[in-house]
Amino acid sequence: MSQLNLKSIKNQAEKEIKKTENLTELEGIFKKYLGKTGVITQVLRSLEKLSKEKKAKIGKEANELKKFLKLLFEQKTQAFKEKVKKETEESEWLDVTLPGKKPVFGHLHPLTLARRRMEEIFQSMGFSIVEGPEMETEWYNFDALNIPKNHPARDIWDTFYLKTELSRSENEGEDEATASSPTELSRSENEGEDEATASSPTELPKEAKVKMKTKFSSPGGLLLRTHTSPMQVRYMEKNQPPLRIIVPGNVFRHEATDYRHEFQLFQVEGLMVDREISVPSFKAIIGEFFRRFFKKEVEFRLKPDFFPFTEPSFDISMTCLVCAGKGCSACKNTGWMEVAGAGMVHPNVFKNSGLNPKEWRGWAFGFGLDRLAMMKYKINDIRLLRSGDLRFLHQF
Ligand code: PHE
Among 154, 225, 227, which residue has the most ligand 1 atoms within 8 Å of its CB, making it the best to mutate? Answer: 227
For the segment 114-133, the average pLDDT, to the nearest whole number, is 97
pLDDT at position 207, please?
A: 45
- Total of domains in the chain: 2
Q: For residue 364, what are the β-bridge partners?
A: 271, 343
Residue 271 CA, closest ligand 1 atom number: 9
**pLDDT: which is higher, 166 or 52:** 52
Among 9-23, 80-94, 207-221, 331-345, the minimum mean pLDDT is found in 207-221
Closest CA to ligand 1's atom 10: 342
> How far is Cα 159 from Cα 63, in angstroms, rounded to an integer?
104
CATH number, domain of 337, equals 3.30.930.10
Task: Using the atom order of ligand 1, give the atom closest to the CA of residue 156.
Answer: 12
pLDDT, tens only, 198-216: 333 334 444 456 666 555 6
User: Ligand 1 pocket test: which of 229, 285, 309 has the largest number of ligand atoms within 8 Å of its C-beta?
Assistant: 229
> Using CA atoms, how far apart are residues 97 and 183, in angstroms rounded to an integer?
53
Residue nearest to atom 9 of ligand 1 (CA): 365
On whether residue 138 sits in a domain, the answer given is yes
Domain match, 84 and 118 both: no
* pLDDT in the model for residue 351: 98
Q: Are 268 and 338 part of one and the same domain?
A: yes
Are residues 114 and 152 located together in one domain of the fold?
A: yes
Structural domain that includes position 175: 110-393
Residues 67 and 158 in one domain: no
Same domain membership, residue 185 and residue 49: no
218 falls within a domain: yes
Are 38 and 80 found together in one domain?
Answer: yes
336 and 294 together in one domain: yes
Residue 8 predicted with pLDDT over 80: yes
Tell me whether residue 157 is in a domain.
yes
- Let me know whether 82 and 120 are in one domain: no
For residues 279 and 247, membership in a common domain is answered with yes
pLDDT at site 379: 93
3-state secondary structure string across the chain: CCHHHHHHHHHHHHHHHHHCCCHHHHHHHHHHHHCCCCHHHHHHHHHHHCCHHHHHHHHHHHHHHHHHHHHHHHHHHHHHHHHHHHHHHHHHCCCCCCCCCCCCCCCCCHHHHHHHHHHHHHHHCCCEEEECCCEEEHHHHCHHHCCCCCCHHHHHCCCCECCCCCCCCCCCCCCCCCCCCHHHCCCCCCCCCCHHHHCCCCCCCHHHEEECCCCCCCCCCEEECCCCCHHHHHHHHHCCCCEEEEEEEEEECCCCCCCCCCCEEEEEEEEEEECCCCHHHHHHHHHHHHHHHHCCCCCEEEEEEEECCEEEEEEEEEECCCCCCCCCCCCCCCCEEEEEEEEEECHHHHHHCCCCCCCCEEEEEEEEHHHHHHHHHCCCCHHHHHCCCHHHHCCC
Q: Say if residue 287 is in the same domain as residue 229.
A: yes
Asked whether residue 104 is assigned to any structural domain, the reply reads: no
Q: Which range among 106-110, 111-115, 174-178, 303-307 shows the weakest confidence by mean pLDDT?
A: 174-178
Residues forming a β-bridge with 376: none
Mean pLDDT over each residue of the chain, to the nearest integer: 86
Do 149 and 255 lie in a common domain?
Answer: yes
User: Does the structure show a pLDDT above 90 at 114?
Assistant: yes
Whether 102 is covered by a domain: the verdict is no
Which ligand 1 atom sits nearest the alpha carbon of residue 368? 4
Residue-level pLDDT at 195 = 35
Asked if residue 240 belongs to a domain, the reply is yes
C-alpha of residue 229 to centroid of ligand 1, in Å: 6
pTM for the model? 0.66
Nearest ligand 1 atom to the CA of 345 is 11
- Mean pLDDT within 276-301: 95
Residue 172 lies in a domain: yes
Predicted confidence at residue 203, as pLDDT, reads: 43
373 and 272 share a domain? yes
Confidence of residue 316 (pLDDT cuts 50, 70, 90): very high
Highest average pLDDT, of 149-153, 205-209, 297-301, comes from 297-301
Summarize the confidence of residues 81-107 as an average pLDDT.
89
Q: What amino acid is encoded at 89 in this protein? A: E
Q: Which residue, 219, 196, 211, 207, is CA-closest to 148? A: 219
Share of the chain above pLDDT 90, in %: 62
What are 170-194's pLDDT values in tens digits?
444 444 444 433 333 333 333 333 3
**C-alpha distances out from residue 143 to 224, 276, 293, 341, Å:** 15, 27, 34, 18
Of 91, 124, 139, the position where a domain reaches its end is: 91
Residue after which a domain boundary falls, among 91, 118, 140: 91
Average pLDDT for 293-321: 96
> Has residue 99 been placed in a domain?
no
